[in-house]
Amino acid sequence: MKHLLRLAYIPVLTGLSSCASLYFPPPPHAPLLTHQGEAYGSVSTNLQNNFALQGAYAITNHLGVAGTFSSLHRSKSRKTENLDFGELSVGYFTRLSDKRVLEVYVGAGGGATERIERNAEKITTRTLDGSLSKVFAQVNYARKKRDNLRLFSHDFPLTYGAALRMSYMQLNNFRINGEVAPGENNLFFEPITFTRTQIAGPVQLQFLSGQIFGFRNNKYLKAANSVFQVGIIVNIGEGFLTQ
């Protein structure tokens, strides 16, 4: 089990603290496509109730398309946060030697964000809302290790990988208590690592963790939330990484 947790425990701690950012990053997609006709789907969540649904398909032996929809809706005594965000991308993938995969994606996304703040008497004191848009570029790299996770006399193949994403994000149509406010923009760098173990057939369990770094010191659109997701993956037509 240490193989699954060693890449994930640090972002769990940072993810427990939520700062005043209007952006919660969806997990970078890493379908690890290898050949034409391969399909990938995943569903994941985290401790902040940030739900993500992802899918990808290999159109040719080197061209793939991918999509992500993420949603966060949570309410506490002092704050309610709502975010719905979608992404689409197209990318190039290739198989390397020794069961390695390299992917390069470019894409864009958009969505809506809202935060409602309350005082100790649960009276609304401020409402912030706006739209989000982004463009991004991402590189994925993975290799199946030779060791396995052994549980209950069964071997579960492990795959380790990393993704590096650079995103330009904008907060548009921004309003505070219904009044127009200046928008913000930021450049985010999102390095993540992931560990996958094959459960049965095309079904895999994934632990994904990482951080987000912002290049601008904004008040509302900033790198305040880490990336940590636990999810189930179904990869139809895959064979290269698990053989």
Query: Residue 169's closest CA among 28, 45, 53, 24?
Result: 24
For 171-191, write each residue's pLDDT tens digit: 999 999 999 999 999 999 999
pTM of the model: 0.84
Structure token digits, residue 167: 């995103």
> Which helix (DSSP H) or strand (DSSP E) does residue 82 occupy?
strand 79-96
**Identity of the residue numbered 192:** I
Q: Which helix (H) or strand (E) holds 194?
A: strand 184-200
Domains of the chain and any CATH numbers: 2-236 (2.40.128)
pLDDT, residue 9, reads: 38
Q: How far is residue 241's CA from residue 243's CA, in Å, rounded to a whole number?
A: 6
- 7, 193 Cβ separation under 8 angstroms: yes
Each residue's pLDDT tens digit, 111-154: 999 999 999 888 999 999 999 999 999 999 998 665 565 555 66
